[in-house]
Amino acid sequence: MKTDFNHCETIYWVFTQLCNDKCAHCYNSSGPQGTRMTDAECLSIISNLPDKIDKIILSGGEPLAEKKQLYLILDTLREKYGAEQKITLQTNGDLMTEKILDTLLEKGVKGISIASLDRFHKHAGAKLDSLKKLFDSRGMIDAMPYMTIGKKKNEIDPSWRTYSYFGANEEMWLGGNWARGRAMENDIWMKDPSHNFCAIQSGARNFLGGYTDVIQEVSIQLWALNPCCPGTKFPLGDMRKEKLADVLLRISKNKVFQVLNTGNPLKMGEHIGITEAQAIKDTEVLQNICSYCDLFFIKNLHPETLEPLTEQIEK
């Protein structure tokens, strides 16, 4: 496990839940009425980010629906990390224009990730061809031949500006993972208690480091720091108020999160008397590992300190 959290490999930041779309499967319930932050909140979050981050992914909601704030974030990140900082924008692509792309590239965006190629998005990737033409016209490289989700097939030259595209499908983004938000409300999440999303990229595995099979990544949902993209029931910390490195150092001493770092939530209660067999039973009832994780947090952890509620330990 890492001990210096002032360097993170990847930070995934949902800085807005405002979106032009309102997809039925949206895990963070983004939409035209989605939660937004003030510019001042975004700036305090940036001031609390680590000194070194290999890659920052800005997402939403739809970042381009919050364009003025996005530009402010990009300018501030550039001031803090310099022009070479790797920044990827994850977008549904609906609002992208030539002028916006040029501004994004000028402000230091190195990668565009189109995350709307599925049947749940209004435009279901209909704009992909024209977007690809637009990116090609600016000398950007199609990164798809170089990568699979969470794993690099070949190294992408760091000087390239790239684009990629994906969407939610049963195997991946709708799998055992996004039992959250509108996907839950609309009951369109796939029930599969055997699927351990926690052990793959965007799950909690390796959020504290120590492994090489997935990238070390944490997510920030608006201001809430999480070990994974779905987000734990209680966040690790409030990025408006605390340094990310301090929070991760504190959490790295917590046994529950040490086990989550291995990617096996079924073992996270063993030190307080909750067996893996019991965890498997609960997950089978709930049909989803993240729902089990939520229940475990509610029953066993203090929402703020994240320490065990010892008086409620299950036997």
Residues 23 and 217 sit within 8 Å (Cβ to Cβ): no
Which two three-digit tokens encode residue 103?
A: 């501004």
- Name residues contacting ligand SF4, limited to 269-288 (CB under 6 A): none
Spell out, one character per residue from 73 to 102, where the chain touches ligand SF4: x when CB under 6 A holds, - when not.
-------------------x----------
When asked if residue 19 is in the footprint of ligand SF4 (CB under 6 A), the reply is yes
When asked if residue 289 is in the footprint of ligand SF4 (CB under 6 A), the reply is yes
Task: Tell me how many residues contact ligand SF4 (CB under 6 A).
Answer: 26
Indicate the DSSP class of residue 308: B
- From the CA atom positions of the chain, what is the Rg in Å? 19
| Chain centre distance of CA 137 | 29
Q: Which residues of 244-275 are buried (b: 16+ CB within 10 A; e: fewer)?
A: bbebbbbbbebebbbbbbbbbbbbbbeebebe
Spell out, one character per residue from 236 to 275, where the chain touches ligand SF4: x when CB under 6 A holds, - when not.
------------------------x----x----------
Neighbours of 207 (CB within 10 A): 33
Task: Compute the distance between CA of residue 27 and CA of residue 33 in angstroms, rounded to an integer.
Answer: 15
Indicate the DSSP class of residue 199: G
Per CB under 6 A, the segment of 24-32, 143-151, 208-216, 246-254 that binds ligand SF4 is 24-32
Which residues does 7 contact at the CB level (< 8 Å), separation at least 6? 50, 51, 52, 53, 54
Q: Which is nearer to ligand SF4, 6 or 20 (CB)?
A: 20
Spell out, one character per residue from 43 to 72, where the chain touches ligand SF4: x when CB under 6 A holds, - when not.
-----------------xxx----------
When asked if residue 23 is in the footprint of ligand SF4 (CB under 6 A), the reply is yes
- Name residues contacting ligand SF4, limited to 173-232 (CB under 6 A): 197-198, 203-204, 227-228, 230, 232
- What's the min distance (Å) between Cβ of 285 and ligand SF4? 15
Residues 60 and 17 sit within 8 Å (Cβ to Cβ): yes
Which two three-digit tokens encode residue 236?
A: 């690790």
When asked if residue 308 is in the footprint of ligand SF4 (CB under 6 A), the reply is no
- Name residues contacting ligand SF4, limited to 110-129 (CB under 6 A): 116, 121
Task: Compute the distance between CA of residue 257 and CA of residue 203 in angstroms, rounded to an integer.
Answer: 12
- What's the min distance (Å) between Cβ of 245 and ligand SF4? 20
Amino acid present at 308:
P
- What's the min distance (Å) between Cβ of 58 and ligand SF4? 12
Per CB under 6 A, the segment of 26-34, 152-160, 183-191, 269-277 that binds ligand SF4 is 26-34
| Chain centre distance of CA 119 | 21
Q: Which residues bind ligand SF4 (CB under 6 A)?
A: 19, 21-23, 26, 30-31, 60-62, 92, 116, 121, 197-198, 203-204, 227-228, 230, 232, 260, 265, 289-290, 293
